């Protein structure tokens, strides 16, 4: 593959006064290949959603660039951007807040078709709306209902249908499951899997739920305080996390299995303020392996294996990743 | 610390029997909780698990008698609580005055959202000291000193200074620590924790769970842990009661529940967790799918006849719609029988139920 579908280079988004900005996203780079699902994980304030929105220019970047098939989205005109939005779509976290309560489902979906001139005549419009509803497991006769008449899971299905209405190539899924109950989550996960295969979708899947990310994604980017800590193929990341933050994050999320040992090491302290991030490595204030040198300079994101990158100067720690993470995956500890 | 009498070891700290709570609404009577029975041994944690609307929070509020008066709730059943003196009290029947003496004293509660459960216009020190003054009759100065000890107990840095600060000056995790400090101020014997870590990030959640674990080990209090997070349940509960549509459908010691779920809903709930699919059968080739529970919870205003889960259940038969199955002790468990209960016709007339252990 020569040009990745999405290329993010040194993306930066600061909010507030230039003198003391909130550094929501600070020098983030990654690529997404066509057909790939990339996971974006991190705790609150790590910049996940800001990145998702910046990719579609729902908010503008303050630095760096986002390229779609090589085209710099930051330089695209408003009309070009509108065109591009038929290729780039988003599913939002809160299915209650992201659907207009005054619009019937027919109009929520129809509006998209109108804007992008995807339906010729009312007959075709109606047919397409029916198609979309059935695609996400809803019935055609539900088209004249309002969002409040649906449950959370059904509303999220409407959100998915709206994103799919333009037959996009790329979808940002911004925590699409976190407002849903477990049994409904599974239904929506299956729906996303099915649609992804059927339409060969490329996805940026934003989530704080590591289990879902492990299940759905091909590769994962781990964020902390607006910066990339580690990038790795999913399986390798979960089996052999290298960055100390990734390890802590994996260790802290309890697995639904009482026979696994309960991990007792928690990270000390809170996430620092993005207004005043620590010098050097932003994670050093909570890192159990921090040394003086960590404060001196920002660690670069370096290749640490095939398709693996980590931003940590403690190479000696990275090297012993196999043994250090035995608490999380004991069955893997014996592997060479 | 009160001396523990020999009975304490046998008698459950709390024994809830046939608790029900229904609300009268304009659209009709909503039976939010029905026929809920479970127990918590001293020093143990019982988790109440279920999805939204399953009745977890109503159960805890009914036990604390905190359901608001204008909700016109009808509460029935018994909740036998053993106090520090070894006296058995029915929480649902004692006079309000006795209840006031228990709340925040012997029984404390922490909630999901610490910002809305702390008073924004009082300093944290005053809020903690209030319960110490009320229940212990301590002087203002002594109560504040106790408040400071409590903040130290929950590992809040610079406790002496934080004592005079307001809730908005703290992060979410620190606020939840303050909530716990408040709850622990009078050394409760029962702590009801209603989704205490749901609003927190995982690394902070781990800190709070570790703190609760330590405090339980130090004080020997019992915990009623209400949550929807099965990962947290797996590691922090001794017993689990699974709720569906207002009723307990299954209760069991934690390891047994995860290893051999008996009720189809519990089985479905565990099956749809992505984490339990990682080494599942659908690897290469066939498309990866979770085993989702189809459909959704029925409206409490028009419950299905018989078992509430029947419309979503793959094992449902005619017997399921004829009446609500009883919550019955598991015969197979022999010695452990008293800690394993299932509400399902399949358990009453055992059929071969194939269930691939995850």
In a domain, B145, yes or no: yes
Tally of domains within chain B: 2
Residue B317 lies in a domain: yes
Chain B residue numbers with beta carbons less than 8 Å from the beta carbon of A185 are 272
Q: Within this chain, do residues B82 and B180 fall inside the same structural domain, yes or no?
A: yes
- Answer yes or no: do A276 and A323 share one domain: yes
CATH number at residue B111: 3.40.50.300
> What does the pLDDT average to over B313-319?
92
Closest among A294, A265, A264 to A279, alpha carbons compared = A294
Same domain assignment for residues A208 and A259 = no
A270 and A201, same domain (yes or no)? no
ipTM of the complex: 0.85
Q: Is residue B251 part of a domain?
A: no
pLDDT of A154: 92
Do residues A213 and A315 share a domain?
no
Q: Which residues of A touch B275 (CB under 8 A)?
A: 211, 214-215, 255-257
* CATH code for the domain in which residue A43 is found: 3.40.50.300
Residue B55's pLDDT band (cuts 50, 70, 90)? very high
Answer whether B269 sits within 8 Å of A182, measured CB to CB. yes
| Whether residues A288 and A170 fall in one domain | no
Backbone angles phi, psi at B218, to 5 degrees: -75, -40
Mean pLDDT over B100-110 rounds to 95
Same domain? For B222 and B312 the reply is: no
Q: Using N-to-C axis directions, what is the helix angle for B264-271 and A182-199, rounded to 10°?
A: 50
Query: Model confidence at B283, in pLDDT bands (50, 70, 90)?
Result: very low
Q: Per-residue pLDDT tens for A240-264?
A: 999 999 999 999 988 899 988 887 6
Q: Within this chain, do residues A281 and A197 fall inside the same structural domain, yes or no?
A: no
pLDDT of residue A318: 66
Q: Which domain holds residue B35?
A: 9-237
pLDDT, tens digit, 9 for 90 and up, residues B60-77: 999 999 998 888 899 999
Residue B331: the pLDDT is 65
Whether residue B33 is contained in a domain is answered as yes
B222 shares its domain with B272: no
Say what the pLDDT of residue A335 is.
32
8 Å CB contact between A256 and B261: no
Listed ranges A175-184, A321-330, B146-155, B276-285; the one with the highest mean pLDDT: B146-155
pLDDT of residue A264: 67
Candidate from B220-234, B256-270, B339-353 with smallest mean pLDDT = B339-353
Q: How confident is the model at residue B269 (pLDDT cuts 50, 70, 90)?
A: very high
Residues B52 and B121 in one domain: yes
Per-residue confidence in pLDDT tens, chain A, 336 aa: 568 999 999 999 999 999 999 999 999 999 999 999 999 999 988 999 999 999 999 999 999 999 999 999 999 999 999 999 999 999 998 888 899 999 999 999 999 999 999 988 889 999 999 999 999 999 999 999 999 999 889 999 999 999 999 999 999 999 999 888 888 899 999 999 999 999 999 999 999 999 999 999 999 999 999 999 999 999 999 999 999 999 999 999 888 999 888 876 668 888 898 999 999 999 999 999 999 999 999 999 999 988 999 999 998 776 665 444 434 433 333 333
CB contact under 8 A, A266 and B230: no
- A182·B231 Cβ contact <8 A: no
Domain identity same for A134 and A176: yes
Domain-embedded: residue A266:
yes
Per-residue pLDDT, B349: 58
Q: State whether A52 and A195 are in the same domain.
A: yes
Q: Which of A182, A197, A270 sits opposite B173 (nearest CB)?
A: A270
Full-model pTM:
0.87
Establish if A272 belongs to a structural domain: yes
- Give chain A's radius of gyration (CA, Å): 21
Do A207 and A250 share a domain, yes or no?
no
Q: Residue B10: its pLDDT value, please? A: 67
Q: In chain B, at which residue ranges do the beta strands (DSSP E only) sit? A: 14-25, 28-40, 45-49, 73-82, 88-90, 107-110, 190-194, 222-227, 239-244, 247-253, 328-329, 341-342
Is the same domain home to B219 and B87?
Answer: yes
User: For residue A225, is it within any domain?
Assistant: no
B30 with B179, same domain: the answer is yes
* Minimal C-alpha gap between B223 and chain A (Å): 18
Q: Are residues B163 and B91 in the same domain?
A: yes
Domain assignment present for residue A224? The answer is no
Contact A296, A287 (CB under 8 A): no
- Contact residues on chain B for A253, CB-CB shorter than 8 A: 202, 231
Please give the DSSP secondary-structure letter assigned to residue B103. B
Same domain, B223 and B311: no
Which residue segment(s) compose the domain that A145 sits in?
A: 6-217
What is the 3-class SS of chain A, one letter each residue? CCCCCEEEEEEEEEECCCCCCEEEEEEEEEEECCCCEEEEECCCCCCHHHHHHHHCCCCCCCEEEEEECCEEHHHCCHHHHHHHCCCEEEECCCCCCCCCCCCCHHHHHHHHHHHCCCCCHHHHHHHHHHHHHHHCCCCHHHHHCCHHHCCHHHHHHHHHHHHHCCCCCEEEEECCCCCCCHHHHHHHHHHHHHHHHHHCCEEEEEECCHHHHHHHCCEEEEEECCEEEEEEEHHHHHHCCCCHHHHHHHHHCCCCCCCCCCCCCCCCCCCCCCCCCCCCCCCCCCCCCCCCHHHHCCCCCEEEECCEEECCCCHHHHHCHHHHCCCCCHHHCCCC
**Cβ within 8 Å of B, A 227-256:** 248-249, 251-256
Quick one: A39 and A107 in the same domain? yes
Q: Which helix (H) or strand (E) holds B97?
A: helix B96-102
A72 domain residue, yes or no: yes
* Closest residue by Cα to residue B228 from B51, B91, B95: B51
Q: Which of B51, B270, B274 sits opposite A181 (nearest CB)?
A: B51
Q: Which residue of B has its CA nearest to A153?
A: B296
Residue B354 located in a structural domain: no
Whether A248 and A203 map to the same domain: the answer is: no
Q: Identify whether residues B133 and B232 lie together within a single domain.
A: yes
Interatomic CA distance for residues B205 and B197, integer angstroms: 5
* Total of domains in chain A: 2
Q: What is the pLDDT of residue B1?
A: 43
pLDDT at B7: 46
pLDDT value at residue B11: 86
Q: Are residues B133 and B92 in the same domain?
A: yes
Q: What is the pLDDT of residue A100?
A: 95
Q: Within this chain, do residues B61 and B198 fall inside the same structural domain, yes or no?
A: yes
Q: Are residues B207 and B332 in the same domain?
A: no
What are the CA-CA distances from residue B19 to residues A179, B76, B91, B243, B315 (Å)?
29, 6, 11, 13, 28
Residue at which a domain ends, from B189, B218, B237: B237
Q: How confident is the prediction for chain B on average, in pLDDT?
A: 88
Whether A176 and A254 map to the same domain: the answer is no
């Amino acid at each position: 593959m020569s040009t990745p579908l999405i290329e993010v280079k040194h993306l930066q988004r600061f909010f507030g006064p230039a003198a003391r900005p909130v550094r929501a996203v600070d020098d983030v780079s990654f690529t997404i290949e066509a057909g790939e699902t990339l996971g974006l994980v991190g705790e609150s304030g790590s910049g996940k959603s800001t990145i998702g929105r910046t990719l579609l220019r729902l908010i503008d970047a303050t630095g760096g660039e986002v390229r779609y098939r090589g085209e710099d989205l930051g330089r695209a005109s408003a009309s070009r951007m509108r065109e591009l939005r038929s290729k780039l779509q988003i599913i939002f976290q809160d299915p209650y807040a992201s659907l207009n309560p005054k619009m019937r489902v027919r109009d929520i979906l129809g509006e998209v078709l109108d804007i992008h001139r995807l339906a010729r005549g009312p007959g075709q419009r109606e047919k397409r709306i029916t198609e979309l509803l059935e695609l996400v497991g809803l019935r055609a006769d539900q088209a004249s209902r309002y969002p409040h008449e649906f449950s959370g899971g059904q509303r999220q299905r409407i959100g998915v249908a709206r994103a799919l209405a333009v037959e996009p190539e790329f979808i940002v899924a911004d925590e699409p499951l976190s407002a849903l109950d477990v049994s409904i989550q599974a239904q929506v996960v299956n729906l996303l899997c099915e649609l992804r295969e059927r339409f060969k979708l490329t996805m940026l899947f934003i989530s704080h739920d590591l289990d879902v990310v492990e299940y759905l994604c091909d590769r994962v980017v781990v964020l902390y305080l607006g910066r990339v800590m580690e990038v790795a193929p999913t399986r390798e990341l979960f089996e052999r996390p290298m960055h100390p933050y990734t390890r802590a994050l994996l260790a802290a999320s309890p697995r639904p299995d009482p026979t696994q040992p309960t991990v007792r090491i928690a990270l000390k302290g809170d996430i620092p303020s993005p207004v005043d991030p620590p010098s050097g490595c932003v994670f050093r204030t909570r890192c159990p392996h921090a040394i003086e040198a960590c404060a001196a300079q920002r660690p670069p994101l370096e290749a640490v294996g095939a398709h693996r990158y980590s931003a940590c100067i403690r190479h000696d720690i990275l090297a012993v990743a196999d043994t250090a993470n035995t608490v999380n995956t004991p069955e893997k500890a014996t592997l060479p | 610390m009160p001396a523990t009498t020999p009975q304490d070891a046998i008698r459950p700290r709390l024994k809830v029997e046939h608790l029900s709570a229904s609300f009268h609404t304009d659209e009709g009577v909503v039976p939010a909780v029905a026929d809920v029975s479970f127990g918590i041994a001293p020093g143990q944690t019982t988790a109440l698990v279920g999805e939204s609307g399953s009745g977890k929070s109503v159960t805890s509020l009914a036990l604390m008698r905190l359901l608001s008066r204008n909700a016109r709730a009808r509460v029935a059943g018994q909740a036998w609580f053993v106090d520090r003196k070894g006296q058995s009290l029915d929480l649902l029947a004692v006079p309000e005055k006795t209840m006031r003496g228990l709340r925040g004293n012997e029984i404390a509660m922490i909630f999901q959202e610490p910002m809305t459960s702390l008073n924004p216009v009082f300093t944290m020190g005053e809020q903690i000291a209030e319960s110490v003054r009320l229940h212990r009759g301590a002087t203002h100065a002594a109560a504040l000193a106790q408040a400071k000890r409590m903040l130290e107990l929950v590992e809040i840095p610079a406790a002496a200074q934080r004592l005079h600060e307001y809730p908005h000056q703290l992060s979410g995790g620190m606020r939840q620590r303050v909530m716990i400090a408040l709850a622990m101020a009078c050394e409760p014997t029962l702590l009801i924790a209603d989704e205490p870590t749901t609003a927190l990030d995982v690394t902070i959640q781990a800190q709070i769970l570790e703190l609760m674990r330590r405090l339980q080990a130090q004080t020997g209090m019992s915990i009623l842990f209400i949550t929807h997070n099965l990962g947290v349940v797996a590691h922090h509960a001794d017993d689990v009661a699974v709720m569906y549509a207002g009723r307990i459908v299954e209760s069991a010691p934690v390891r047994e529940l995860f290893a051999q779920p008996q009720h189809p809903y519990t089985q479905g709930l565990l099956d749809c967790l992505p984490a339990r699919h990682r080494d599942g059968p659908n690897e290469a080739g066939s498309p990866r799918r979770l085993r989702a529970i189809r459909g959704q919870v029925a409206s409490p205003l028009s419950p299905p006849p018989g078992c509430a889960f029947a419309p979503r259940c793959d094992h449902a038969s005619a017997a399921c719609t004829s009446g609500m199955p009883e919550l019955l002790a598991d015969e197979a468990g022999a010695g452990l029988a008293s800690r394993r209960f299932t509400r399902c016709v399949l358990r009453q007339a055992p059929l071969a139920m194939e269930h691939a252990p995850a």
